[in-house]
């Protein structure tokens, strides 16, 4: 049995007496590895070496750190298929989907290569007589990232490349469900020139998370996961005087207007709702159709399209999506299907009868579609995080927009229409952090920032892009002058511009 441990100070370690957790292949349901769960002492060791390594790393010039990021980008590109294989084996998503997530993560590294431009600050000459002022952005110190199972490559790359390029040291706590890819990416970072101790990995569970939140030497914590845990991370981190960005769950809506093109809309819903088995924080899980005629044609198109989807293991090159990540999560999603039927929604596509020869123990679920979903139903209010799409029927656009704005979660939303006026109104009035028009998944590119509103984001800063740089740095402002002539004596009033 493969045993996965920690990577601290550039060295991998395993211990025979550590607590462990199982790592499964979701397609077969078989355990393929065990991962050590870091203790409080393990985390303290990682923080100690990261704190010591910060001094030299933060003292390097921004361009020196950027050159390391350039080398890292090249190594990630060379090993992209290897990383995708690791993702697929432990997460379950198809190889093309896994490779796409790796490439999206590499785009963040590419952004990090240009961070010196964002660190240079501003300068104002003669703010007073012979007085100049300028500001600079400086690193925080030891930062930590706690990342989810659904994107074991992309989400860590949202965090540590930006943090490192800004001059911080970093401790990554990836999901214990699929730890191999994050560990390999950190090895490649060391190969690219990141010094030992600057970037470390601690695998673990709540004990490791709490240790990071409580250690006063950790200055900032980044998190992506469910909203209840995001809220916990935010409040615990803030109570310990840390800067926190905690991205939570989502219930992303797509408003479908009567003038939306049917085929294009159906294709967008299929890819967004069922890609990666719906285990995406930007997946569309609710289609709000304006008018019964709109709902009927979208539903009919979805039923025809989903009947042709191929669900299978990542080793199947024709698979459209794979299994859910764990048996427990599969059972949770099945519970939502029961709840939806009990509360009166119509399950018009039922994926529970799927059976794959040779993969009977895998965590597979075919595409599921509910029609006539109401806003008071559990399947509408809560994030399901599976291949389940709900159709809500409404009479007019204003009601559809109100549904989005009244939902507790505000990660992403999109609108499909041919009307520019409606689109403009939606972009301005949707109370959502990331919005799109005629796009299925409104995910920002690397040089913009990712983050929702309401209970989808706890903290003031989104991830990567300019907001990521602001999160991983602190602003310092300097005011200076030089002696010229005789000393005029002490000044007791607040200086004013002249």
What are the beta bridge partners of residue 435? 413
Judged against a pLDDT cut of 80, whether residue 48 lies above it is answered with yes
**Cβ 403 vs Cβ 375: under 8 Å:** yes
The dihedrals phi and psi of 28, each to the nearest 5 degrees, come to: -110, -20
Which tens digit of pLDDT belongs to each residue from 444-493?
Answer: 999 999 999 999 999 999 999 999 999 999 999 999 999 876 666 777 77
Nearest to 263 by CA among 401, 389, 438: 438
Please list, in sequence order, all residues whose beta carbon lies within 8 angstroms of the beta carbon of residue 81, skipping any fewer than 6 positions away.
99
Give the strands of the sheet with 412-416, arranged side by side.
346-349, 368-371, 388-394, 284-290, 252-256, 412-416, 434-437
Catalytic residue among 113, 143, 281, 368: 281
% of the chain residues with pLDDT over 70: 99
**Three-state SS sequence of 442-485:** CCCCCCCCECCEECCEECCCCECHHHHHHHCEEEEEEEEECCCC
What are the beta bridge partners of residue 20? 36
Mean pLDDT over the full length of the chain: 96
**498 band by pLDDT with thresholds 50, 70 and 90:** low
Whole-number pLDDT of residue 497? 64
Which residue has tokens 């399950």?
347
Per-domain residue ranges of the chain: 2-248+456-478, 252-437
The torsion defined by the Cα of 192, 195, 196 and 200, in degrees rounded to 10, comes to -70
Q: Mark whether 71 is an active-site residue.
A: no
Which tens digit of pLDDT belongs to each residue from 385-427?
Answer: 999 999 999 999 999 999 999 999 999 999 999 999 999 999 9
**Cβ 206 vs Cβ 37: under 8 Å:** no
Q: What integer is the mean pLDDT of 252-272?
A: 98
Stretch (H or E) spanning 361: none
The region of weakest confidence among 10-19, 188-197, 218-227, 416-425 is 10-19
Specify whether domain 2-248+456-478 bears CATH 3.40.605.10: yes
Q: Look at domain 252-437 and name its CATH class.
A: alpha beta
Which tens digit of pLDDT belongs to each residue from 273-331?
Answer: 999 999 999 999 999 999 999 999 999 999 999 999 999 999 999 999 999 999 999 99
Tokens of 448: 């913009």
């Amino acid at each position: 049995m493969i045993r996965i441990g920690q990577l601290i100070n550039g060295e991998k370690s395993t211990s025979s007496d550590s607590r462990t957790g199982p790592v499964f292949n979701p397609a077969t349901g078989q355990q393929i590895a065990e991962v050590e769960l870091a203790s409080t002492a393990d985390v303290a060791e990682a923080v100690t070496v990261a704190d010591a390594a910060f001094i030299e790393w933060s003292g390097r010039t921004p361009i020196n750190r950027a050159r390391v990021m350039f080398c890292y980008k090249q190594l990630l590109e060379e090993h992209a298929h290897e990383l995708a294989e690791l993702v697929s084996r432990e997460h379950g998503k198809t190889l093309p989907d896994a490779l796409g997530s790796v490439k999206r993560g590499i785009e963040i590294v590419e952004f990090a290569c240009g961070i010196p431009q964002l660190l240079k600050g501003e300068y104002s000459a003669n703010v007073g007589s012979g007085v100049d002022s300028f500001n600079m952005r400086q690193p925080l110190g030891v930062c930590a990232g706690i990342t989810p199972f659904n994107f074991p490559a992309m989400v860590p790359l949202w965090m540590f490349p930006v943090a490192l390029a800004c001059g911080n040291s970093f401790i990554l706590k990836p999901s214990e469900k699929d730890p191999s890819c994050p560990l390999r990416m950190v090895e490649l970072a060391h190969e690219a020139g990141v010094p030992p101790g600057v970037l470390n990995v601690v695998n673990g569970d709540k004990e490791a998370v709490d240790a990071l939140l409580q250690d006063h030497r950790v200055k900032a914590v980044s998190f992506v996961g469910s909203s209840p845990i995001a809220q916990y991370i935010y409040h615990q981190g803030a109570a310990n005087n840390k800067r926190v960005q905690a991205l939570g769950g989502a219930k992303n809506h797509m408003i479908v207007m009567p003038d939306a093109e049917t085929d294009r809309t159906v294709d967008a819903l299929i890819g967004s709702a069922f890609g990666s088995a719906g285990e995406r924080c930007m997946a569309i899980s609710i289609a709000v159709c304006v008018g019964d005629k709109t709902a009927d044609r979208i539903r009919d198109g979805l039923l025809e399209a989903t009947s042709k989807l191929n669900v299978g293991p990542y080793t199947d090159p024709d698979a459209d999506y794979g299994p859910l990540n764990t048996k427990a999560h599969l059972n949770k999603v099945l519970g939502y299907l029961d709840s939806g039927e009990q509360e009166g929604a119509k399950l018009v596509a039922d994926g529970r009868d799927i059976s794959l020869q040779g993969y009977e123990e895998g965590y597979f679920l075919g595409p599921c579609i509910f029609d006539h979903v109401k806003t008071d139903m559990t399947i509408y209010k809560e994030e399901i995080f599976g291949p389940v799409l709900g159709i809500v029927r409404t009479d007019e656009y204003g009601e559809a927009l109100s549904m989005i704005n009244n939902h507790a979660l505000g990660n992403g939303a999109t609108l499909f229409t041919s009307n520019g006026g409606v689109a403009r109104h939606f972009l301005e009035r949707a109370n959502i952090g990331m919005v799109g028009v005629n796009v299925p998944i409104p995910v920002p590119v690397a040089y913009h920032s990712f983050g929702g509103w309401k209970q989808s984001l706890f903290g003031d800063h989104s991830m990567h892009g300019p907001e990521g740089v602001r999160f991983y740095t602190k602003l310092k402002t300097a005011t200076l002058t030089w002696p010229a002539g005789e000393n005029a004596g002490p000044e007791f009033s607040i200086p004013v511009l002249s």
